Structure 1
Amino acid sequence: MLFCFLYLSPERSVYSYISDINAITSLELVLMEFIHRYGFLTNFVLLGDLNARVGCEQDYILNDSPKYLPCEYNYIEDNFNSQRLSRDHTINTYGRSLLNMCKEFEIQMLNGRSNLDKPGNFTYMGPSGNSVVDYIIVSTNTFDAFCDFQVLNNDESDHFPITCNIKTNTKPAARDGDVFTRHRFKWNDKISSNFGSLFYTDDTHRELEIVVEQIQGYKIDEAVNGLERIFHKNLKCVIKRRGNAMVRQEQPGWWDDTCENMKAAKYKYLDVFRVTNRKENLEEYKSAKRIFKNMCNKKREIYKEEDDVNLNKLEIMDSPQIWKKLKHFKKGEEKSTPVALFEWYSHFNNLLNNCNYDRDEQFDQEIDTHITEAEARGESSDDLLDAEITTYEIPAAVNKLPNKKAPGISGITNEMIRRSINVIIPVLVTLFNNILVTGIFPLKWCQGIIYPLSKNGTRSDPKNYRGISLLDTIGKLSTSILNERLAKWCTINEKFVENQAGYRRGYRTIDQIFNLQALIQKYLSKSDERLYCIFVDFSTAFD
């Protein structure tokens, strides 16, 4: 299908006098050029604001028949016969030209022809009046492929949205490779207790026993999938899954029940007017719309003033609340990135799977030698690193999990783990120890969602983004326990040097800034002393 999206300036506007012919006639010339070049105008769809008012006139030739024409004329009659209705009874110059164009090129309007738009509702309702100026126009040969044309009641603009469905028999194209389904659940504290109680049911206990049996049988991937299914089953009982379905847009902070009720009342007046087409009902709708708009503006202003005051009161360490407040100021920023999906794939594939690096063979040899000598001395295991993971380590690690963090593909959040931990501790102990002994790491824990975070530079270049990987939360719980052991082992065995601040708990950038300032004061306070510094910014160091 050929889709043509179009906007035509109104009649007698300053833009309409640029050309000697009207805009509809100009469009006809473009279509004629298209037919001359390609030889056809089928499967054609024209949609947009044409500022053409066609009244109740029909866009096809009525009672068209070659009955009285001489036989030598090869005339193809217009067999289209579907009458169009319209609330707008006015015809302007653009409208007459549009009707002639529809008859000439065998294209028809969807407006006023479906069961959802039988009266032919107004598509524009504003200060200058009511009219039908927004259209979806399709080729006669594809008219039956379109259905359910409708003028929606969203009135954020003076122009109402128009929509329709296209009937098709095509099947989704097969995808190459593995396709992963991301599970998304919207968590809130209100369903916390209900969710936790579901883990004490007999069904959940039986399912957890099956998971333990799978772990003991070294079926690690099956066990992880089974544990994930238990979470999903209990979640579906207390929460609405978001998935890939359309999720209702979150309302702003100032929105309340009064706004919701007045919005519903406003649309009710609009629905009544669309049925009756009476002037008094139109005035009721306009009045309700005006009151609703003024109320929203007032509530928005009050909320912004209170928001500014509350932002100043927030403590510096309450970073989640600070970022939540600052999002209001980023409302106008571009959310979508002008990067195609295949560019993202190519960029991260080259970045993460790059094998063109210089291996340090000497270092590899030293590692192999160290392992061989340690095994010969009977030092192949360590009491701290290789000890079984206990029922004390897991709750301690769970208590350190931060809230309101994005989950991985499974959709299981830290809050969900915290509410179920008392029941699933034995399962996690068995699972983590089995992984520690066998070295079999679950496939699900290796899968992540890469979220590109803009760093600097142009937004159209993938190299100016850092990929943040959203990993499985249960997998991260397992690795956090191992990380805690490694950090403790490095401290006990004095593997850290004192001037290292990176990857050490309790050390921050401010410590290094303090050291740098001390060095500057020490050397520059003396005459003829210099301090040379090298600042290195490694490209894609954390990508």
Structure 2
Amino acid sequence: MDQFCCPVIVPRMRSKSTQGGGMVFLYKKHLEQKISVCEIIKDSIIVIKIDRSIFLKNDEDRYLVFVYIPPYKSVFYKQYDVNDLFEDLESVLENYSTKGISFICGDTNSRTSTYDDFIKEDNLPESLVDLTSYSADSQLSLRVNPDLKTNTWGLKLLSLCKSSGFRIVNGRHSEGYANGFTYCGANGTSVNDYLITQEQNFELIRKFIVCSFTTFSDHAPLHFEFDSVQQQQLNSRSAGIPENDVLTVIKWKDENKFEIREAFRVNYDQLNSCFENRDLSSDADIDTCVESFSDAVVAIAEPFCKVTTRHKSGHKNAKLNFDKPWFSDELKALRRNYIRALNAFNSNSSTNNHKTLNECKKTYKLKERYLKRQYMKQEGDMLSVIRKTNPKLFYAKFKPKKKTLKSNLKLDDFYEHFKNLGLEMNLDSDNASTEEGNCCVFDELDAEITSNEVEKIFLHCNQNNWVLV
């Protein structure tokens, strides 16, 4: 994580029933001068400004509004004394839409089904067209949404879209390969996480993907890309690097099979065009056909595979990762079952797969917490014994470790530094000897003591204090 900056950390609400929460914003260090945090509202809305110079279409700055809206009737609203976060979100959109291009992204706990997020039949009568500058809502295509239910927050989100002119990107973007569920919990699956922006900004989004579920969260990550100047510069620099200096690794992820299959279905025409107007009896045409087909397959599947490019010369040995002390063989087996069930659900989000996933996850999590509690209790008992039998060792375990400072100082520089210090000390000693010759002289201290001064001293002294010399 050394290559990332973390300017914002919003801690989660303290609760016995919650295992996670909070908000963290990260970006790479080379973008530090281009990204700034505008404001944070009630620990639930973070507004980020990205400088226009980063993007290819750099007419305006872009504002990313990351939002988390707690569930309806949550204790959050009592703790923060908030009536409705949608009102705050609407004021944010009104403010920053005049300054640049705004995008909303996050967990809104809103279920919107396939209801319209625009006003239908919004055209004015012909008699009123010349009397006002009102612009009617465009009739957008129907959103692809596997979640056909709604809730209170979902209706509020749709109302916000209609009043502000913002539209939901999920299930509507041309490059949205997988428009599946974004939340998978014990009670079911739903679509709660959205990317929202104005209709004219859809073309600025190069790709939008609802990724597969992972073991880290109940929510699926939202992946979206913009065309940036730095990406083009990076590609041009990579093109000039010799092949021997670059290591590219593509890691296949079995849980992404469904998304890749859906991507191939969406791009069927692109794959089919590789075989059009080809003379398959010619070796040259066959080679060209195979090459173009391979390039198309790689371009479609690449977003779902992990690609790493780095210089071999700068490659460092990977650190060994060790399991936690309480991670037993039984727990490893339960985790493997959990991951297999998760991959099966990502491939086919059926009711049976969801039920199996919940059972495997619950069994694994309960066993993990139990073993962790047992280990912590055992460690606590051991510390109690050490405290009584060996207090010195007990308190030594709580001493902060001294950090070893690594220096890039060369040996020659080290030698020159102390050599110059020695020369300065010699110069100081020479200056000190010259100053001794020019010391101050007080004539009254060198004068002889007269007999009158001695007589005065004897008169003031007591006879018992006289000493014969």
Shorter chain as normaliser: what TM range?
0.3 to 0.5
- Richer in strand (by share): 2
Structure scoring higher RCO (CA < 8 A, sep ≥ 6) equals: 1
TM-score normalised by the chain length of structure 2:
0.44
The structure that has the greater radius of gyration is 2
